[in-house]
A and B are shown apart, each in its own frame.
Chain A
Amino acid sequence: MARFVRSYPERCTGCRVCELACSMAHDGVFNPEKARITIHTRSLERMERALVCVHCDKPRCMDACPVDAISKDPTSGLVSVDGEACTGCGECVEACPFDAMKLHPETGKAINCDLCGGDPLCVSYCRPGALEFGGTGHG
């Protein structure tokens, strides 16, 4: 069972700092399209929730991948993409029920939350406390 970044929409203010912290941590730039977490806004008055990988027990992205580039670590439960093997076909993006998988705008490869190796930066930067690192078991 994997730990994952759990989101609490009722506390989210929609500032999108999580997206910025993510692209800062992974790419060394500010670019929400490179972020592995996405704030979805429902209307102009802004009812939002975070879309982020929950590292499912039975990952549909993994089943959908035609080249077996996605795997789930048996010990940690982490779902990850092998960037070498990924062809950027986007099947995983379609398959994910949580809209948590996306294609990197530069490399074209699939990306998902990798928990920053155990200390997710989005969580530490989320001032309203709408993200927590914890919770096990999902999907």
Chain B
Amino acid sequence: MGKKGYMGKILRVDLTAGSTEVEELSDELARKFVGANGLAIHTLYRELRPGIDPLGKENKMVFAAGPLVGTILPFISRTYVAAKSPLTGLFADATAGGFWAPELKYAGYDAVVIEGVSDRPVYLWINDGKAEIREAGHIWGKKTGEAQEVIHREVGQRRAQSVCIGPAGENLVRYAGILAGVHAAARCGLGAVMGSKRLKAITVKGSQDVEVADMEGLKEWLERNPYARFPGSGLDKGYSSRGTVMLPELFQNFGLWGTDNWRRETYDESGEGLFHSTWLKGEVKRNSCFACIATCPGVYRVPDGPYKATVTEGPEYETVYALGSMCLNPDMRAVAKMDRMCDDYGLDTISTGVTLAFAMECVEKGIITRDQLHGLDLRFGNVEAMVQTIEKIALREGIGDLLAEGTRIAARKLDRGAEYFAINTKGLEHPGHSTRGTKGMGLGFAVGTRGAHHHDGRDFEYAPNPLIDYDGDRERARGKGVMQGIITRWTAAADCMGFCHFAEKLYGNRLQQEHVDMLNLVTGLGFTLDELIGVGERVYTLERLFQVREGIDRSKDRLPERFFREAIPGGPHKGAIMTREELDLMLDEFYESHGWDRRGIPTPERLKELGLDGY
């Protein structure tokens, strides 16, 4: 195909046979699915039979970079990963910031598809188009940072980039993540899929051009748009410049901050220990992802106390929520220590923290017994026990072996009512956004492709937003289904192109002409806005079709019981609760906005309209 934006090549690796081959990326596929997310769901829908074991040899993984990645356009560098998830049993994807995806393109590929299982630990080395499967016995068991450094020395390229798993992925922890440098594609346990294939890392380096269709147009665009608009856009003052660690204080003030395993949504007594002002005492510097003008990532060095001198990039808001307020741990220094541990072992911080909070409540209720804990005093706020448990989870030792299964499976194994304390939807632990106080986000969790994730539907309910027809009433359900319909078309299309969702600060959370302009300047494919909206719709619907094939329908688009039975006990949203009627209303709206039937299943007519008949 015409090589603008795209590298035009997909690398297919069969780990069972130890072979690699190169496929062309067709114009037709690019037009229909754009890239990354679209390419992944197209490939996995067609090639994964329903019911396969996510940790078995039949599962496949797609690593990809969208067509806008590798250019100078800011907010567009996401490393995209997809496979069938061992945590949800469904199609799942996760993305990371950083530098891997652009380097994949400079190495000559838009995507890598991994098949089969290696009989010994290996890593994949892609150097300027050439791919080589290499022995990884000597780095198996190593933490992610050290493993990457060893590999980069070994290939003799200090500017190589890797996606890599740690011991958690090797030990098939169901919420093991994949680290790209220190950035994590964390959610849904895709690290365990890599581990099941005995694939330690994919390392890339190259010197090939990413060409664009209209360079002069792109230069004009840059002067008019992101660079000119950045100052005064709020980006220069908000969390995109100072880090999402600004959010705990904001959410505390809103009364929408998941605390104490969601028994509360305020952390009045000690939340201040997790505020930005506390974090600043250890700030070293601010970082950016590739080509970005925002500086969300910050480096933090623990200034004092038992974890003194621990250095981590982050912690981000979700980590502060999961390992902080959820577990009643008010110490930023301890959160940073555990953030670093999760990065090193290759764990999703959200699922790790929510699973710890689940375990603590089970201990409190006597569902997890002293015999199971082997002396661990796993109660809310006990930081030392949390640190020890994280290591046990990664290594699957003692109680860690049970907790490594995630809250859904662990609750089933524990039985005795444990399920009530397991805050997950479709098996994925909830991130730090309110279900009861922001009803649209609640719906987003219930219907999200990945389960409870804040990157299918998004949380936009803090202030009125005319772009998505939202008037600012957080607790109201009506209209939120339509709103999340608009948002999911945008997130799906954005994931195809390679966008970071924080680009919403500049371009909004609804697909607009600006998104189309960027895509056309780079690829020259001449998309219209309607076509791009159609891509978002097509990709989101095909993801749904995958889930439907695995048994998902309206009856599975549910939420944890706690949010139906317990109201928020205090704070500005005191009394807010989710009702079944509200969820039903929003489900109807949402399904209708996507052209699915009342059971949440895409209709044959809709599939035909989207060019998905025959899928």
Interfacial residues, chain A to chain B (CB-CB below 8 A): 10, 13-17, 20-21, 24, 27-34, 41, 44-47, 105, 125, 127-128
Binds A, one of B33-41, B248-256, B290-298, B425-433: B290-298
Task: Tell me if B462 is interfacial: C-beta within 8 Å of chain A.
Answer: no
* Most chain A beta-carbon contacts within 10 A, residue among B181, B207, B209, B284: B209
User: Are B209 and A30 in contact, with the CB atoms below 8 A?
Assistant: yes
Given A31-B207, A31-B208, A127-B230: A46 touches B290 (CB 8 Å cut-off): no
* Segment 82-113 of B: residues with Cβ below 8 Å from A: 99, 106
Task: Give B139 Cβ to nearest chain A Cβ, in Å.
Answer: 15
Query: Which residues on the A side are within 8 Å of B311 (C-beta)?
Result: 45
* A33 vs B107: C-alpha distance when bound (angstroms): 11
* Most chain A beta-carbon contacts within 10 A, residue among B181, B210, B288: B288
User: Are A31 and B285 in contact, with the CB atoms below 8 A?
Assistant: no
Task: Tell me if B512 is interfacial: C-beta within 8 Å of chain A.
Answer: no
Task: Tell me if B571 is interfacial: C-beta within 8 Å of chain A.
Answer: no
User: Are B288 and A14 in contact, with the CB atoms below 8 A?
Assistant: yes
Task: Give A52 Cβ to nearest chain B Cβ, in Å.
Answer: 16
User: Are A45 and B291 in contact, with the CB atoms below 8 A?
Assistant: no
Query: Which residues on the B side are within 8 Å of A15 (C-beta)?
Result: 288-293
Can you name 11 extra interface pairs (CB under 8 A) apart from A15-B292, A30-B211, A30-B212?
Answer: A15-B290, A29-B212, A30-B70, A30-B71, A31-B106, A33-B207, A44-B181, A45-B313, A46-B313, A47-B285, A127-B230
Interchain pairs with CB closer than 8 A, number: 81
Say which residue of B71, B148, B286 sits within 8 Å of A20 (CB atoms). Answer: B71
Query: Which residues on the B side are within 8 Å of A128 (C-beta)?
Result: 286, 288, 295
User: Are B72 and A32 in contact, with the CB atoms below 8 A?
Assistant: no
* A27 vs B99: C-alpha distance when bound (angstroms): 22
User: Are A10 and B285 in contact, with the CB atoms below 8 A?
Assistant: yes
Task: Tell me if B182 is interfacial: C-beta within 8 Å of chain A.
Answer: yes
* Segment 202-216 of B: residues with Cβ below 8 Å from A: 206-212, 215
User: Are B148 and A31 in contact, with the CB atoms below 8 A?
Assistant: no
Task: Give A18 Cβ to nearest chain B Cβ, in Å.
Answer: 10
7 A-B pairs with CB atoms under 8 Å apart are A14-B287, A16-B99, A17-B291, A30-B70, A30-B212, A46-B287, A47-B285
Nearest opposing residue in chain B for A104, CB measure: B207
Task: Tell me if B615 is interfacial: C-beta within 8 Å of chain A.
Answer: no
Nearest opposing residue in chain A for B208, CB measure: A31
- 1/0 per position for B281-315, CB-CB distance to A under 8 A? 00011111111110100010000000000011100
Task: Tell me if B145 is interfacial: C-beta within 8 Å of chain A.
Answer: yes
User: Are B207 and A24 in contact, with the CB atoms below 8 A?
Assistant: no
* A16 vs B289: C-alpha distance when bound (angstroms): 9
Interfacial residues, chain B to chain A (CB-CB below 8 A): 70-72, 74, 99, 106, 145, 148-149, 159, 181-182, 206-212, 215, 219, 227, 230, 284-293, 295, 299, 311-313
User: Are A31 and B299 in contact, with the CB atoms below 8 A?
Assistant: no
* Most chain B beta-carbon contacts within 10 A, residue among A28, A34, A46: A46
Query: Which residues on the A side are within 8 Å of B292 (C-beta)?
Result: 15
Query: Which residues on the A side are within 8 Å of B208 (C-beta)?
Result: 31
User: Are A29 and B209 in contact, with the CB atoms below 8 A?
Assistant: yes
* A14 vs B284: C-alpha distance when bound (angstroms): 14
User: Are A44 and B72 in contact, with the CB atoms below 8 A?
Assistant: no
User: Are A45 and B182 in contact, with the CB atoms below 8 A?
Assistant: yes
The 7 closest A-B CB pairs, nearest first, are A15-B288, A33-B207, A105-B207, A29-B209, A13-B288, A20-B72, A30-B210
* Most chain B beta-carbon contacts within 10 A, residue among A13, A30, A41, A45: A30
Query: Which residues on the A side are within 8 Å of B295 (C-beta)?
Result: 13, 128
Task: Give B286 Cβ to nearest chain A Cβ, in Å.
Answer: 6
Nearest opposing residue in chain B for A128, CB measure: B295
Nearest opposing residue in chain B for A38, CB measure: B159
Nearest opposing residue in chain A for B289, CB measure: A15
Task: Give B124 Cβ to nearest chain A Cβ, in Å.
Answer: 20
Task: Give A47 Cβ to nearest chain B Cβ, in Å.
Answer: 8
Query: Which residues on the B side are within 8 Å of A41 (C-beta)?
Result: 159
Say which residue of A10, A16, A24, A44 sits within 8 Å of B290 (CB atoms). Answer: A16
User: Are A125 and B286 in contact, with the CB atoms below 8 A?
Assistant: no
Say which residue of B70, B227, B285, B299 sits within 8 Å of A127 (CB atoms). Answer: B227
User: Are A45 and B211 in contact, with the CB atoms below 8 A?
Assistant: no
* A34 vs B290: C-alpha distance when bound (angstroms): 16
* A10 vs B284: C-alpha distance when bound (angstroms): 10
* A46 vs B297: C-alpha distance when bound (angstroms): 11
Nearest opposing residue in chain A for B236, CB measure: A127
Say which residue of B149, B210, B219, B293 sits within 8 Å of A31 (CB atoms). Answer: B210
Query: Which residues on the B side are within 8 Å of A33 (C-beta)?
Result: 106, 206-207
User: Are A125 and B288 in contact, with the CB atoms below 8 A?
Assistant: no
Task: Give B232 Cβ to nearest chain A Cβ, in Å.
Answer: 14
* A125 vs B218: C-alpha distance when bound (angstroms): 14
Task: Give B501 Cβ to nearest chain A Cβ, in Å.
Answer: 18
* A137 vs B106: C-alpha distance when bound (angstroms): 36
Query: Which residues on the A side are within 8 Å of B207 (C-beta)?
Result: 31, 33-34, 105
Nearest opposing residue in chain B for A124, CB measure: B227
Say which residue of A14, A44, A45, A105 sits within 8 Å of B148 (CB atoms). Answer: A44
* Most chain B beta-carbon contacts within 10 A, residue among A20, A44, A105, A127: A44
User: Are A24 and B288 in contact, with the CB atoms below 8 A?
Assistant: no
Task: Give B375 Cβ to nearest chain A Cβ, in Å.
Answer: 34
* A37 vs B145: C-alpha distance when bound (angstroms): 26
User: Are A27 and B227 in contact, with the CB atoms below 8 A?
Assistant: no
Query: Which residues on the B side are within 8 Å of A34 (C-beta)?
Result: 207, 209
Query: Which residues on the A side are within 8 Å of B313 (C-beta)?
Result: 45-46
Task: Give B559 Cβ to nearest chain A Cβ, in Å.
Answer: 37
* A15 vs B313: C-alpha distance when bound (angstroms): 15
Query: Which residues on the A side are within 8 Å of B291 (C-beta)?
Result: 15-17, 20
Nearest opposing residue in chain A for B103, CB measure: A32
* A29 vs B209: C-alpha distance when bound (angstroms): 6
* A13 vs B296: C-alpha distance when bound (angstroms): 10
User: Are A44 and B182 in contact, with the CB atoms below 8 A?
Assistant: yes
Nearest opposing residue in chain A for B340, CB measure: A45
Nearest opposing residue in chain A for B182, CB measure: A44
* A27 vs B299: C-alpha distance when bound (angstroms): 34
Say which residue of B71, B182, B287 sits within 8 Å of A13 (CB atoms). Answer: B287
Query: Which residues on the A side are within 8 Å of B299 (C-beta)?
Result: 45-46
* A33 vs B106: C-alpha distance when bound (angstroms): 9
User: Are A125 and B211 in contact, with the CB atoms below 8 A?
Assistant: no
Query: Which residues on the B side are within 8 Å of A21 (C-beta)?
Result: 72
User: Are B72 and A17 in contact, with the CB atoms below 8 A?
Assistant: yes
Nearest opposing residue in chain B for A23, CB measure: B209
* A104 vs B42: C-alpha distance when bound (angstroms): 38
Query: Which residues on the B side are within 8 Å of A10 (C-beta)?
Result: 285
Task: Give B173 Cβ to nearest chain A Cβ, in Å.
Answer: 21
Query: Which residues on the A side are within 8 Å of B148 (C-beta)?
Result: 44
User: Are B72 and A125 in contact, with the CB atoms below 8 A?
Assistant: yes
Query: Which residues on the A side are within 8 Å of B293 (C-beta)?
Result: 15, 17, 127
Task: Give A105 Cβ to nearest chain B Cβ, in Å.
Answer: 4
